[in-house]
Structures are given as C-alpha cells and as structure tokens.
Chain A
Amino acid sequence: MALQSSSLRLVERLFLTLSLVAVSAAPIPAPASPPPMQDPQDIALQSWRDHLQGIGWPQELRERWAPRFLGVLRESVANEHGGNTMTWDGSKPGLLSTVTLVLDANGKPVQRPVVQLADVLEAR
C-alpha cells in the first residue's frame, strides 16, 4: 500500500513538470482589443424583425412595421450582469408593444430578447 502511494506521487510530479514545460514553450498572445459594442437599439429592432418573422410576417411588412412597434427607449436599469436591462416601448392604448433586452457589460444580450405584441382591453 505504501509503495503504491509513492509511485502515484512520482507520476504526478512528472506530469506537472511536463505541463510547465509545455506552458512555458507556448507563444504569448498579444492583448485582444474589445469587439465594437452593437447599438442596443439595433439589437432591439432586429429582435422585432425576428419576432415578426416568427409569427409569419413577410419581409416587406417586417421592415416597415418593426420600427413602429419598437417605439422609444422607456427604461434602462443596471443589472447583475454588469450591463443594463433596457425596454423599448411602442405601446398605445389598446396595444401592448414592447421589447426588453438584458445586456452584459459588453452590451451583449445574455438571454433572448422578450418581445410582447398584444391587443389589450383597458378598464374605463
């Protein structure tokens, strides 16, 4: 039993040594420049296009109507991903039209955009 333990320890040292050699022999990369941050509104607009395509809208209509549904940036609040959660709102009385993006520090969506397009009845 003792002999076996010593043998294992010897193998581990050898593996560690080889690993360090390998690491030291590898080329050192130059520091990467951050990718250009995409305009969140463009992402939101594209989300609308994708949603409309998903419910059967032809391209011509998608291009024409997505900006109308997008509306304006209503809210942008910091989130736990180091970025912002942003909501664009094109709603009108009787129409719910919103898209919400959850972005990380680099402005990338960390989850699928949430698009809401619905007809609503309001209390008078």
Chain B
Amino acid sequence: MATSMHRLGVGLAGVLALALAPSQARAQVNIVRVLGAGAPPATVAGGGNLTAIFNAAADWWEGTLVTSPYTVTITYQWGPLSGSTLGLHSLVSQGGSPNRETAGTITFDNDGTSSWFLDPTPCANTEFTTGPTLASANLGGGLMNTGRTYTGGTGSASGRTDLFSVCLHEIGHALGLSSANTSFVAEAGVDLSIDVTAPRPFPGAAIPTVSGAHLNLTSALMFPSIGTGLRHLPTDADALANAQVSQMTNIMTLTSCPGTLGGSPLTTTFANDNGGSSGGAVYFELECLASSGLTIPDIALNVGGAGGAAANFNLYLQMLSAPNTTDPIGFWGLPVATGAAASTLPAGTPTHFSVSPPLQLGPGCRVGVAIAGNFAHAYTNGSAAFQVYSTADLTLAACCATNSPFTAPVFSPRVVNTSISYNLGGVCPPVATCVAQGNGCVKEFTSFYEVLTATGMDLSGRRLSAINTGTLAAPSYDVTTVAAALQPIGSVGAAAALVLADDQVVAAGTLGLQVSSNCQIFNGPGGTPGFVPTPSIFLGGPCSYTSSWTDLNPAAPGSGQVFYEQNAGSGVAQITYNGVYGFGTTGANTVQFRINTVNGSFSITWGALATTNVRPWLVGFSPAAVSLDPGPTDISATPLIHTFAVDNPGLGLVCANRPAQGGAWNVTTTNIPANAFLHLRVLGLNRPGVPLGIIGFPPSCTQLASPDVIDIDVLPSPAPSSINWTPLPSIPAGFIGFEVNAQAVTLFGAPLFNLNSRASNGLKGRVGAL
C-alpha cells in the first residue's frame, strides 16, 4: 500500500513538474520506494515517521544527480541490527550500461539500542542551532565542498541520531557507493580513491574512500559513522563520488530540499524557430537576485541538428554595471568556464552541459554571458530587445547571436534556448574587466539611419533631402529635412503601377533601380525585401539601400499601388508608394522617393502614414558593401547629417586582454592616421570627460583618461596603423578591484593640438583574479 501511495504522489508531482518547471522533465534518478516490514523502536522521538523522512531524502538525491533516466528500487524498513550499527544497505541486483544498482534494501536499527530523532519537518532544520557549517578541500580538481553540517540539536534532536541523515547516507550507497557494486569496486577497489573525470565537475579530483564504500572525509555525508545531535547533508564530494562511480553526467548540489528554492532552473524556451552556424555564439545577460548569491553547475542548451555527438562550449563574461549593455562584438577575454555534454539531444530538446567550474554570481551581480560551442545553437527569434525571463533568484535578458563569436553581423533580438540550473550560495566572479568608454575621434560614416515605431514616426509631411557632394561611386551626403508635400505622380515621367507581391523586389525602368514592396529602393540587385527592418541587413549591402523600410503589402486587396516613373534623359526616377497598406492592416502609407541616378542625390517625402503598421520604420541610406554602423540618428531633430565617402571608425583603443593579477594588461591603439607623428599613451585614475575641442582638437574628441602617466612614441612616416602597448606591465596580487583608465592620442603637425589631432575612446580596466 505504501508503495502504491507513493507512486501516485510521484505521478501527480510529475504532472505538475511538466506544467510548471520544464527542467523537472529531465528525468534523472528515479528512486522507487517500497516500505518493508518492521516497526519503529520505542526509542524514537520527534513526531516524524520513516516514510516521510525517507521520501524527503530520496527526493534530495533525485534532485542532486544529473543523468539519463535511471531507476532503482529500494525497500526500506525497520529491523534489528547488531552492535552500534544504525543503518545498513545491501545490494540486491545490479546491471545495465553503465552498471548501476537496480534494487537494494535499507534497514534502520530497531533493536532498541539506537535513539532516533524522527524530524517531522526534515527540510526545515529548525531543531539545530548551528549551520549549515561548510567544509571544503582541494582534492586535486579545485576547491570542493566536503561538508554541510548542522549541529546543536535541540529538543528531540538532542542526543539522538538524525534519521534524515541516515536515510540520506544509506540511499547514497544505493546510488553507487556500495561494496557490492562492481562499478565501485572497479573505481575504488584497488587504490581506495574515486578519480573524477570530465564531463563531471572537478575533473582531476581524487576522492578518498575508506571502510568499504565510504568517503574518508570526516564531514561528508558518506563518512562511515555519525554522531548524535547533528545533521549531515549531501556535499559536492558525496554527490560527485556517486556520479563518478555510476557514470552520471553532473551533480546539482542542493542546499535545501528540492522545491524550496526560488525556482531553479530558469528556463527560457526550447521552441526554436531559428539557429546559427556551427561554432557560433549566443549572448544574454544574467542578474543574481538571490541575497545569498547562486551557483550554476548546469546549463541546458538547444543544440541544432539530430544530436548524438559529444559537445562542449566556452563561457565568456562581461561584467555589467547597467542592464541591456551586453556588447556581443565587444571585449570578452578568455573563457571563465567550459561546458561539456557527453551526447547532444535533437534540436528542440534540452541538452545538459556540466559547467566547470560552476559559475558563481553574487547578490546583485550582473554579467553579460557569451556561449560559443563546437555546435550550432538553435534559438528563437525575439519579439523585442532584451526579453526578460526570471525566477525569484535569477533574471535572464536575452540578447542576440552571431555566427562567429564576437564578430558582426549581430542577429538581434534572439532568445537563447536554455535552462539554467542553480543552487543558492555564490559570490560575484572576480573577473577582471576591460570596458570601452566613450568614442574615439573623429568617426566618419557612409551611412545614416533612424528606427521609428509606427506610432513614433515623425516624418509625415516632411521631406528628407540628401545632396551628394561626393561621387556616384562614393557618395558623401548633406542631409536635411523640411516640411514638404509630395510631388504629383507623373511629374517626372509617365507613371506605371508596379506589380509587387508581398515581400518582393522588382526591377523598374531603365535606370538600374529595383523597388521593394517594403518601401526600399536599391541601386542594383541583391537587396533584401524582408518584412523585419534590420539595421545589420540595411548596412550589409550588396547594393545601396535608400529606405523608408517597413512591412507593407501592396498586393493586399484594396491597397494603394506603387508607381514608378522616370526621365531617362536626366536620370531621375520617382517612386511613389501611394496609400499602400501596412501588412495585415488596412492602414494606408504614402511615401515618395525621387532619385537622381546621375549625381546620386535623392529625396524621400512622406505623406499620410498609418499608425497601425506592425513593424517599425527604418529610414536612411547605406551605400553598397558592408558599412560601419553609425548608430541611429534622430533625423527630424538633426539640422544637418553629414555622411562621408569612406567609413572611418576614428582612433580606437581596444582590449587585448583583461587586467588580471599576476599578469600584464595589454591594449592596442587602432586606426592610427598615417600622418600622425606622435602617439601618446595616457593612463589615469580618473575619466574627466572634458571636450578636447577647447584646446584645438576636433569638436568630437573627449578626454577619457586623466594624464597621470603619459608615455610618448615618436612614429615613423607613415605611421603604423596600430600599436600594441601595456598600460599595466605587471599586476601584483592584492589589487583586485583597482581601476585605471587608458586612452591613446595621436598628434600631427603644429601647433601640437589641432584639427588633425585624434583621441581614442577610453578603456577602463578593473583588476581581477581571472
């Protein structure tokens, strides 16, 4: 009866788990519990009962070990045990691959010589005044938790043996640490040591055993004896020993009973509708909300493909001071952890990776995370930037993805498909940081754009005029906007309605232009008429984009048409989207392009626009070929936008590594003008933010490091395009948290500071341990 009652409970719990906590569906250890014969002795106290306590202990172990589905049936009972024996485990059967116990028996002494504390609330630990007291040891694979103990038992717990601890101990035998288990004999029978190997955490650790299948760690749960008035809980060492013997992939070291955490794991989604290239990366932010911090030993990801192969990833961090600031193509440094999975599962199914070392986050700690693996990520298109997923302890903000780590183009928004399992307890990783601040000067861009929502579109009734002061092949524009009405259709030439399906591009006229249904004009083939206006596509060529890009559908019944007209003699074309419906709506949009294909100048005039369009507008111009992203510009608020024939990112300063103690901090000055004759390495404790235009620099240059230390390089002619230098050549221990600012300056001619002077962006280095 007890068995069937329990299985019913498991069934209901399983349904709830599937509905409420996706990770619970990652079937791991399933302990079937069978209550055997025997009655409790008269020496029990506390008010609890064996079945409830045994179930709590079994639940704990089920939540601790990560593996493919595995079931063991344990018969537990009261029975007389000789001498000072409190509990006994015997293996009944074993088998499978890897070999594991499949059935066992556990007996608790009832001959009257053992005084038991039967805790009515084993998950609360309220009867113990002290704890948990943690112990740790480096067994060869890094510092590992080897003790988690409550002491100072009061009331019924005082002077008695805690049955919950003994249940945990004996179940621990059934999961691998058994003298009758051939896997244990093979692992520890000769050298009395359990040697931990990947993919489990702490590879290289050698966990000592003693007295049969016990651990020779006095604070561990699996030590062969236990005192009274105290409680031992499973430690990393206990869990890892079983995981190694039974070839389980990972451990989840719980610090409290399962279900009492604030919602581990944090799961986004595994309904992938997109994915990247093999070797690509996904990016997201994590913020620790738990006051105790947390530790992440396991990250499940959605791996593209059919699965079956081993996989691994590198995990990189950016320490963030503000939300939504992860920079996918910024500086990430070396990986701070790795992940490994023995075998991936098909796309759409979580593949669990053990994280080594487990990633710790302290309270309030906010990090950008990049995961780059030897596999293709499967992920989900986001509906907004930095979509947030939260538990009570942890917040994840989804960012983006790239097909090559830290390299444009950036695909955004993308939602990483993940399930992040965590334990409470952790501190912010002492990661050294190198963060770019401010802008170098003088930046010059070939493109400009603005992204506006349908309701925020403020260009209706205005005309954008872009006058080309450069050449047709390398245009340079002066852009202004004024209030203006549309030119009449037919004012340039005979107008013809174009036949445009939804999301289609057609060649129009004889001037080489191509017209998109989504309000884009291309100067040649290759333009993308996608329905999601995307800056990276807009900037990516291969033709020029003259855009008021949004999702329109001129093929919708009742929609207005797109008219094309041209004057072949003057090379001028006019394209008018005349009351074209936004996709899926009957909201009409009128936009008119006039393009001079001889000199490259153009204008865009907006008439009445709908506020019901489902996608934003992307207004601007980008020439053919890949262009630097200038960032958005408020077109209506900027009196004059000037674009250049060639992109120039300005004098740059980039991180070559992090300022970690024991090493050197290296940076690189980039994009040095060929005519520069001096290169200044500026190092300062402060970041003044003073405009350098006041001493003769170009107006966009800013002082981003106080000149506490300046080294000067005299440059050859022509100057090298980049210089590697070392702001901190040797960082001693004890400086964790020390911050310093670096900036590069190049000078040309006389006077010393003039409009040819350049100042780079700043870098703020923060010394850390990693």
Q: Is the CB of B92 within 8 A of A121?
A: no
Q: How far is the CA of A93 from the CA of B91 in the complex (A)?
A: 18
From B93, B161, B179, give the contact of A119 (CB < 8 A): B179
The interface stretch among A33-41, A56-64, A106-114 is A56-64
Q: Is the CB of A61 within 8 A of B88?
A: no
* Residue of chain A at shortest CB distance from B212: A95
Q: Is the CB of B212 within 8 A of A122?
A: no
Produce 1/0 per residue, A68-81, CB < 8 A to B. 00000000000000
Chain A interface residue count, Cβ-Cβ cutoff 8 angstroms = 21
Indicate whether B250 reaches chain A with its CB closer than 8 angstroms: no
In the complex, chain B residues whose CB is within 8 Å of the CB of A95: 179, 211-213
Q: Is the CB of A119 within 8 A of B178?
A: yes
* Residue of chain A at shortest CB distance from B86: A121
Q: Is the CB of B185 within 8 A of A61?
A: yes
Q: Is the CB of A55 within 8 A of B92?
A: yes
Q: List 9 A-B contacts (CB under 8 A).
A: A96-B88, A116-B90, A117-B91, A117-B179, A119-B214, A122-B86, A123-B161, A123-B226, A123-B227
In the complex, chain A residues whose CB is within 8 Å of the CB of B231: none
Indicate whether B180 reaches chain A with its CB closer than 8 angstroms: yes
Q: Is the CB of B91 within 8 A of A55?
A: yes
* New A-B contacts (13) at CB < 8 Å, excluding given A95-B179, A117-B180: A55-B91, A65-B189, A93-B224, A93-B225, A94-B214, A95-B213, A119-B88, A119-B179, A119-B213, A120-B89, A121-B87, A121-B166, A123-B227
Q: Is the CB of B169 within 8 A of A118?
A: no
Q: Nearest 4 A-B pairs (CB), nearest first?
A: A94-B211, A95-B212, A94-B224, A118-B90
Asked, given contacts A55-B94, A94-B212, whether A119 binds B173 with beta carbons under 8 Å apart, the answer is: yes
Q: Is the CB of A122 within 8 A of B90?
A: no
In the complex, chain B residues whose CB is within 8 Å of the CB of A97: 179
Q: How far is the CA of A58 from the CA of B99 in the complex (A)?
A: 12
A48 to chain B, nearest CB (A): 12
In the complex, chain B residues whose CB is within 8 Å of the CB of A118: 88-90, 179-180
Which residues of B (160-185) have their CB < 8 Å from a CB of A? Answer: 161, 166, 169-170, 173, 177-180, 182, 185
Indicate whether B321 reaches chain A with its CB closer than 8 angstroms: no
B458 to chain A, nearest CB (A): 75
Which residues of B (83-103) have their CB < 8 Å from a CB of A? Answer: 83-95, 99
Which residues of B (185-206) have their CB < 8 Å from a CB of A? Answer: 185, 189
Asked, given contacts A65-B185, A116-B90, whether A122 binds B225 with beta carbons under 8 Å apart, the answer is: yes
From B84, B182, B211, give the contact of A56 (CB < 8 A): B182
Produce 1/0 per residue, B224-242, CB < 8 A to A. 1111100000000000000
Q: How far is the CA of A116 from the CA of B92 in the complex (A)?
A: 11
A36 to chain B, nearest CB (A): 33
From B86, B169, B173, B185, give the contact of A123 (CB < 8 A): B86
Asked, given contacts A55-B93, A122-B225, whether A61 binds B182 with beta carbons under 8 Å apart, the answer is: yes
Indicate whether A124 reaches chain B with its CB closer than 8 angstroms: yes
Q: How far is the CA of A93 from the CA of B210 in the complex (A)?
A: 9
A-B contact count (CB 8 A): 93
B→A interface (CB under 8 Å): 81, 83-95, 99, 114, 161, 166, 169-170, 173, 177-180, 182, 185, 189, 210-214, 224-228
B21 to chain A, nearest CB (A): 33
In the complex, chain A residues whose CB is within 8 Å of the CB of B92: 55
Asked, given contacts A55-B92, A56-B93, A95-B179, whether A119 binds B212 with beta carbons under 8 Å apart, the answer is: yes
Q: Main SS of the interface on chain A?
A: strand
* Residue of chain A at shortest CB distance from B209: A94
B426 to chain A, nearest CB (A): 31
In the complex, chain A residues whose CB is within 8 Å of the CB of B189: 65
From A56, A96, A123, give the contact of B95 (CB < 8 A): A56
Q: Is the CB of B90 within 8 A of A93?
A: no
In the complex, chain B residues whose CB is within 8 Å of the CB of A55: 91-94, 180
B166 to chain A, nearest CB (A): 6
In the complex, chain A residues whose CB is within 8 Å of the CB of B88: 96, 118-121
Q: How far is the CA of A112 from the CA of B90 in the complex (A)?
A: 19
Asked, given contacts A56-B95, A93-B211, whether A120 binds B180 with beta carbons under 8 Å apart, the answer is: no
A34 to chain B, nearest CB (A): 37
Q: Is the CB of A123 within 8 A of B84?
A: yes
Interface centre among B85, B93, B161, B178 (most CB of A within 10 A): B85
Q: How far is the CA of A118 from the CA of B185 in the complex (A)?
A: 14
* Residue of chain B at shortest CB distance from A65: B185
Q: Is the CB of B81 within 8 A of A120?
A: yes
Q: Is the CB of A92 within 8 A of B90?
A: no
Q: How far is the CA of A58 from the CA of B225 in the complex (A)?
A: 31
In the complex, chain B residues whose CB is within 8 Å of the CB of A92: 211-212
From A57, A94, A120, give the contact of B210 (CB < 8 A): A94
Q: Is the CB of B94 within 8 A of A56?
A: yes
B101 to chain A, nearest CB (A): 9
In the complex, chain B residues whose CB is within 8 Å of the CB of A116: 90
Q: How far is the CA of A92 from the CA of B227 in the complex (A)?
A: 19
Q: Is the CB of B225 within 8 A of A121?
A: yes
In the complex, chain A residues whose CB is within 8 Å of the CB of B228: 123-124
B170 to chain A, nearest CB (A): 7
Q: How far is the CA of A117 from the CA of B86 in the complex (A)?
A: 16
In the complex, chain B residues whose CB is within 8 Å of the CB of A65: 185, 189
Produce 1/0 per residue, A22-66, CB < 8 A to B. 000000000000000000000000000000000111100100010
In the complex, chain B residues whose CB is within 8 Å of the CB of A94: 210-214, 224-225
Q: How far is the CA of A118 from the CA of B178 in the complex (A)?
A: 8
Q: Is the CB of B182 within 8 A of A122?
A: no
Q: Is the CB of A123 within 8 A of B91?
A: no
Q: Is the CB of A124 within 8 A of B226?
A: yes
In the complex, chain A residues whose CB is within 8 Å of the CB of B179: 95, 97, 117-119
A30 to chain B, nearest CB (A): 49
Q: How far is the CA of A94 from the CA of B192 in the complex (A)?
A: 14
* Residue of chain A at shortest CB distance from B102: A56
B433 to chain A, nearest CB (A): 48
Q: Is the CB of A121 within 8 A of B90?
A: no
A50 to chain B, nearest CB (A): 14
Q: How far is the CA of A118 from the CA of B169 in the complex (A)?
A: 13
In the complex, chain A residues whose CB is within 8 Å of the CB of B95: 56
B61 to chain A, nearest CB (A): 15
Q: Is the CB of A57 within 8 A of B214?
A: no
Q: How far is the CA of A56 from the CA of B185 in the complex (A)?
A: 13
In the complex, chain B residues whose CB is within 8 Å of the CB of A124: 225-228
In the complex, chain A residues whose CB is within 8 Å of the CB of B177: 119
Q: How far is the CA of A56 from the CA of B178 in the complex (A)?
A: 13
